Amino acid sequence: MAEPRFRRDGAWVGASVPRREDPRLLAGRGRFVDDITLPGMLHAQFVRSTEAHARLLAVDLDEVRAVPGVVAAYTAADLDLADITALLDRPAHEFVPTAMPVLARDTVRYVGEPVAVVVAKDPYAAEDGVEAAVVEYAPLEPVVSDLGALAEGAPLVHAGAPRNTLVDVSLFATEGIDDVFSEAHTVVEVRTKTGRQNALPLETRGVVADWDDRDEQLRVQTCSQVPHQVRTVLARCVGLDEKQVRVTVPDMGGGFGQKCVVGREEIAAAAAALRLRRPVKWIEDRRDALTAAFLAREQRYTVRAAFSADGEILGLDADVVCDMGAYSCYPFTAGIEPLMASAEMPGVYRVPAYRVRGRAVTTNKAPTAPYRGVSRPQYVMVVERVFEKAARALGIDAVELRRRNLITVFPYTGVNNITYDPGSYLESLDLCEKTLRDEGWFSRRSDENRVIGIGFACFSERTGYGSGAFAQRKMQVVPGFDISEIRMDLNGTVSVTTGTLSHGQSHETTMAQIVADRLGVPYDRVKIVQGDTDRITYGWGSFASRSITIGGSAVAAASVKLGDQLREIAAHLLGGDVESAVLEDGGVRVGSSWLSYADIADVAYLKAHLLPKGVGPGLAATASFDVGGDGTFSNATHGCVVELDPGTGGVEILRYVCVEDCGVAIHPQVVEGQARGGIAQGIAGALFEEVRYDDAGQPLAPSFMEYKVPTAREIPDVRIEHLETPCAFTENGAKGAGEGGTIGAPAAVLNAVNDALRHTGVELDDTPIPREAIFRALEVS
């Protein structure tokens, strides 16, 4: 193995310093999209389909335009915008694209689909206007489930997608896998259906757009995780050059993936602003956010696993169907979930034979986007159920069974052609089990008067997907790299751009820590510039736990380059040689003399004639970073203790332990925060949240009364233990830390509930776990 290139010799990386973003957010002085007011600003709302599937016969907006306060109202025909179409480089039998119109043109495909945009002097009048719209539908039979979509003779959501299938890939199919199964000592099968979820950033989506005559630009302020993608799609839809669109991102109240795709409403609102030459704001309300925003996670798994008598896993055979709703999202496409699940399912185990079929089906429901963890919460849950079931069938302790199968020798190249870099798979499991044992949970589990269960989840998570890894997915738009530009100003302060985009992850702090160590300046001398397409060359934004691994590496590389410049100038000014020049205490030491950064900057900007030959004025550098191989794998083991209430079927989480390894933690408190928040979202999926529809495709959870986001009462305290296996090929030794919590929690909770039910003979494999099923299982026993 190569020596890790990370460094932690400085004062900043590894320290839980006060967050730079805290003071403004705590004082109520943050600036979120809805906090922005521009002179003459108007407010948009959308007329939305009330039908799940229908032909649009007529959209009459005359009454709308007569409503007091309404300034304009547009249909698709009025705005005439190009469609949003995301592509994969795959043959037609593997992938069928969908053209998602900004406003529905002749067909509506889900309840809540935008049909017309109303622009008014305030949001109240805009809603008055929306109410006045008259839309005539010719209803078509809706497709409301994955099974319904695949059924013989099912109606088609898109004429071009036979069997309502948008993605259908069969991968790996290790030679002889059928023999492996027919000859195996034990074969277990898991069938699971996971509920549709909403990523649910507390701040809903929104945009403020206005045309600026002086800059000749459409300026768009929006809470997006991917501002450059918004620019590209918006420019294409309205027919402007990229340079005529500037997308900036203010403070953002969470995203979790829902905001890492391009939405239709921000395009429509911007198009209206362009046409009216007045600022237009759109703020999604919660009903729309719950019914018409991008959703995720509705998947069905049929997985068989073959084991030897002594508990060695011999093969995995999986069928995955993901209900992606009405359209492919941009840029990831409807392939996002099935391709993730298919590629990564063997996970932390040494699986010698693997076959998978992954499908995305289209239905008359709101479309889907990546959501924190993307498929991994689901397939990890399924694989961890596989191990629990196999343990029971084989009569081996489930933790022991995992131990026998975990990858322990790294780098390890799996049956899925992925190379795993070193991690602490076994160590994290051991520590997690030991922690729960030492806390006495295993003895409480044997208490006859209580129904207590303990569940584990082992997983790793590929983070830092470089261009190569995304290219394997055959995305036509291939994210991966990051570019950073760094600049030192006159008084020696630093500003640095990143193409990533913090919306809760604390990059203003953690990226500054990285720079601070590289340049030897306090972290509050470093300003992070993010979320502005005019100031950042090109950026992929923040998702897939890529920011610190890739963005942080680019920032580090740019800092090093700037440091080299500073050393060169200082050496020249102090009359020493560059090789002996070192960055120290906010300046450069050459031999026994020292020059502050401010002094060097003074020369670089104000006395350029003193610069060494060949060195231009100014202090700036640019660097980029990409992950060459298969990315880096963070890993963790979660342990969960639940108690069931036989009288109600209620579930209480008594204890939660997370042993995580994300390599070098730049800011341990931030890493813990990511883990805790992620675990809360995983628990939400396991026990509480589901977006359900009735048979007509009407959403059944239009408010927080029905969509049950857990509160502080339901989410337990989480004990976190850290292990550290530094990454060898990111600049800081860091691995991604954004998603892990969400990935492990559903498996840990589900396993714990099933462990508590062990005496009943009942096994529950679907989420969210119905309390009635628990009640019935316990009632019988």
Partner 1 sequence: MKPAAFEYHRARSVAGAVGLLTELGDEAKVVAGGQSLVAMMNFRLARPEHLVDITHIDGLAEIRREGDTLRVGALTTHRTVEKAELGDFAVLSRAMRWVGHLPIRTRGTVGGSIAHADATAEWCLLAVLLEARIVAEGPAGRREIPAEEFFLGPFTTALEPDELIVELVFPHPAPRAALTEYADRKGDFALVAAAVDLDTDRIVLGGVGPVPTVVRGGWSSGAASRARAAAAADSLDLRDEPGISAHYRRGLVRTLVERAYEEAARG
Partner 2 sequence: MIQLVELVVNGERHDLAIEPRRTLVDVLRHDLGLTGTHVGCEHGICGACTVLVDGAPARACLIFAAQVEGAEIRTVESLAAPDGTLNDLQQCFSEHHGLQCGFCTPGMLMLAEGYLAEEPEPTTEEIRDVVASNLCRCTGYQTIVEAIDDCATRRRAAFQDRLDRSAS
Q: Does 781 bind partner 1 (CB under 8 A)?
A: no
Radius of gyration of the chain from its Cα atoms, rounded to whole angstroms: 27
Q: What is the DSSP letter of 17?
A: P
- Binder to partner 2 among 377, 677, 733, 768 (CB under 8 A)? 677
Q: How many CB atoms lie within 10 A of CB 592?
A: 7
What's the Cα-to-Cα distance from 549 to each of 466, 481, 528, 538, 633, rounded to whole Å? 10, 10, 16, 17, 11
Compute the C-alpha angle 58/327/291, nearest 5°: 75
- Binder to partner 1 among 216, 447, 577, 779 (CB under 8 A)? 779
SS3 142: coil
**Which residue's CB is nearer to ligand FES, number 253 or number 367?**
253
Please report the DSSP string for 326-353 in residue order.
SSPPTTT-TTHHHHHHHHHTTTTB--S-
- Binder to ligand FES among 504, 541, 576, 649 (CB under 6 A)? 504
- Which of ligand FES, partner 1, partner 2, none lies near 263, with the C-beta cut-off 5 to 8 A by kind? none
**Which residue's CB is nearer to partner 1, number 419 or number 648?**
648
In the complex, what is the shortest distance from the CB of residue 545 to ligand FES, in angstroms, rounded to a whole number?
17
- Which of partner 2, ligand FES, partner 1, none lies near 32, with the C-beta cut-off 5 to 8 A by kind? partner 2
In the complex, what is the shortest distance from the CB of residue 293 to partner 2, in angstroms, rounded to a whole number?
13
In the complex, what is the shortest distance from the CB of residue 742 to partner 2, in angstroms, rounded to a whole number?
11
Q: Residue 368 and residue 52: Cα distance in Å, rounded?
A: 15
SS3 463: strand
Q: Does 27 bind partner 2 (CB under 8 A)?
A: yes
Q: Does 709 bind partner 2 (CB under 8 A)?
A: yes
Binning the chain into helix, strand and coil, the percentages to the nearest 5 are: 30, 25, 45
In the complex, what is the shortest distance from the CB of residue 451 to partner 1, in angstroms, rounded to a whole number?
14
In the region spanning residues 363 to 422, those forming contacts with partner 2, defined by CB under 8 A, are: none
* CA 240 to chain centroid: 29
In the complex, what is the shortest distance from the CB of residue 124 to partner 1, in angstroms, rounded to a whole number?
4
- Give residue for tokens 């809470």: 223
Q: Residue 431 and residue 426: Cα distance in Å, rounded?
A: 9
**Which residue's CB is nearer to partner 2, number 431 or number 718?**
718
Alpha-helix residue ranges (DSSP H) falling in 15-163 = 22-26, 62-66, 76-79, 123-131, 146-150
Cα torsion 682, 686, 689, 695: sign: positive
- Binder to partner 1 among 285, 397, 400, 534 (CB under 8 A)? 285
Residue 602 half-sphere exposure toward CB, CA atoms < 13 A:
8
* CA 600 to chain centroid: 42
Q: Does 254 bind ligand FES (CB under 6 A)?
A: yes
Alpha-helix residue ranges (DSSP H) falling in 307-438 = 336-344, 376-394, 398-405, 425-438
- Binder to partner 2 among 285, 397, 584, 652 (CB under 8 A)? 285
**Which residue's CB is nearer to partner 1, number 91 or number 647?**
647
In the complex, what is the shortest distance from the CB of residue 673 to ligand FES, in angstroms, rounded to a whole number?
9
- Binder to ligand FES among 66, 77, 138, 202 (CB under 6 A)? 202
SS3 67: coil
- Binder to partner 1 among 78, 127, 319, 439 (CB under 8 A)? 127
Which residues make up the interface to partner 1 (CB under 8 A)? 123-124, 127-128, 131, 285-287, 647-650, 687-688, 703, 705, 708, 710-711, 713-714, 771-772, 775-776, 779
Binding site for ligand FES (CB under 6 A): 202, 253-254, 504
Contacts with partner 2, residue ranges (CB under 8 A): 16, 18-19, 21-23, 25-32, 34-35, 37, 123-124, 200-204, 251-254, 256, 283, 285-286, 503-506, 669-670, 672-673, 676-681, 703-705, 709, 711-715, 717-718, 741
